[in-house]
Structure 1
């Protein structure tokens, strides 16, 4: 079928943009609907989900202690908020699939071949970071907090404050575990090289601890539990980056054509 649109017609040049905006809206609506469906399916278990997330702290509280709600709506809002976050968390693969379906037609075959593994790896790494926070960091961190307080102070954490605390850590560790992807992309795109990144190791170590200080509570344990994995993941990114041949720059292509 031939395209009957006149390229000199302003309306014809706007048509592709409108089509892209309509498709983008459709993709966004599908993502929102998917999150809503998952949320409705999980809402009946909202209290159980909160109990699961609170288990690392509840297991370490002194006998007779419990979590409390200092606000009237907290018993409802805290599990509601957590369930919504979990729904987004579960829907991430589908949301990324919608994003991929939107941008894929504009990519080259070589870009498509590497984008799919990177998207899948980024999702798994984010989930891995959240799991690392829950199963490794939380028990160590809460054991430290519950055992360092004065003997005459009862530990009764507010459920809303606890939720905000753990969500920050989930997000911090999830993002931190994306470092191999970011490192690989910088090497693959030619922004930097393995040799350059290797020489910057002392600065990276310092940056990891600074980021750990900014993203975690003000204690050396949580900072170290974030900074050390970040540096190790940075090394993993360099390791995979060694398998990548740096893309030739446009200037290099022009020079080769001139020759």
Structure 2
């Protein structure tokens, strides 16, 4: 009952006292943390399968058992690596880390929605539509970038393992390997968010689509250099496999920004929408000459007609 009354009293434009904002932020955070906790607990029962899924491409590329079984140990000088855990608390810490990481990823729709719900009351109707579109497009783009990282990992591991000196056995700590995989997934995922960031800046009026189109040479060069650095493989196909999708997404963002600029120009020519205030005309205007303070005051209508007001004709209310 109190909750419904509070919702009815809320300002339709999203204005609330500071205490109400803090209370709502607390509720949103609690819901997000609860969703992450539930997802992490569920993922804890499958953490071994999650670890196998993450380490499988690396083991297929540089694992001693799998690699030597495939090669039938024909080449004794082939470099390989073994995955190990170095301390007693390592397995437990690893299980917590993997479960928490899987919980954050699995519960991302929930905490993204809570973030959206906290920011939505202060947005216009068009801004709400755009923000919801950004949230809906950002998560798939991040997953696509993470998938590219997952496919590039075997080639990356093969190149890195070749730096091992001859006669030295390479022991990869499982927690460090997971950190490397997580870092690459995050970097690749964020790199695929670049076009979305450019569109967001365009919709916010920071940069125009025409200016973004003028950056295409520098952006293509920067994306190519970034792909070459983040993928230490000497194979150019791996670098192109990362750079080409980002370049395509960049030009797609430029196209969306150009269309938005044309639409914004038509809307500005048509006038403000219903939920926007019109611009005020603050241009100063010339005023008439100020009357002199020494000039006599204007005569009353009775005085102007030459009649005198009789005080006796007024009712004495006292």
Query: Any conservation in 2 of the 1:57–1:142 contact (CA below 8 Å)?
Result: yes
- Displacement of 1:186: 2.0
Where does residue 156 of structure 2 map in the other structure? 141
1:116 maps to 2:118: no
The 8 Å contact of residues 56 and 142 in structure 1, kept in 2 or not, is answered as: no
Higher helix share: 1
Task: Indicate the SS of the match to 2:260.
Answer: coil
Q: Distance in 2 between matches of 1:213 and 1:82?
A: 29
CA contact (8 A) 1:129 1:177 kept: yes
CA distance 1:34–1:128, shift in 2 (3 Å): same
Distance 1:15 1:108, change over 3 A: closer
In structure 2, runs of 5+ residues without a counterpart are 10-14, 69-80, 272-277, 284-318
Give per-residue Cα distances to partners, 1:109-147, cap 9 Å, x unaligned. Answer: 11112221111000111111112211x211222233345
- TM (norm. structure 1) is 0.80
The CA deviation at 1:212 is 5.0
The CA RMSD over aligned residues, in Å, is 3.2
Unaligned runs of 5+ in 1: 6-13
Aligned to 2:146: 130
Per-residue CA deviation, residues 154-192 of structure 1 (Å, 9 max, x unaligned), is: 343110110111111011011111112112122222222
Task: Mark the CA change 1:156 to 1:232 in structure 2 (over 3 Å): closer, same or farther.
Answer: farther
Question: Contact 2:148/2:242 (CA < 8 Å) preserved in 1?
Answer: no
Q: 1:42·1:83 contact (CA, 8 Å) conserved in 2? A: yes
- Contact preservation (8 Å) 1:50, 1:82: yes
Q: CA deviation at 1:27?
A: 0.4
Q: Which residue of 2 aligns with 1:54?
A: 55
Answer whether contact 2:41 2:99 (CA < 8 A) is retained.
no
The alignment covers a number of residue pairs equal to 244
Alignment partner of 2:120 out of 81, 100, 104: 104
In structure 2, what is the equivalent of residue 232 of structure 1?
248
CA contact (8 A) 2:159 2:233 kept: no
Give 1:200's match in structure 2, choosing from 215, 218, 238.
Answer: 215
Partners of 2:149 and 2:23 lie apart in 1 by 39
Distance 2:139 2:221 in 1: 27
- Secondary structure of the corresponding residue to residue 107 of structure 2: helix
| TM alignment of 1:182-197, pairs within 5 A | 182-197=197-212
Compute the TM-score of the two structures, normalised by the length of structure 2.
0.67
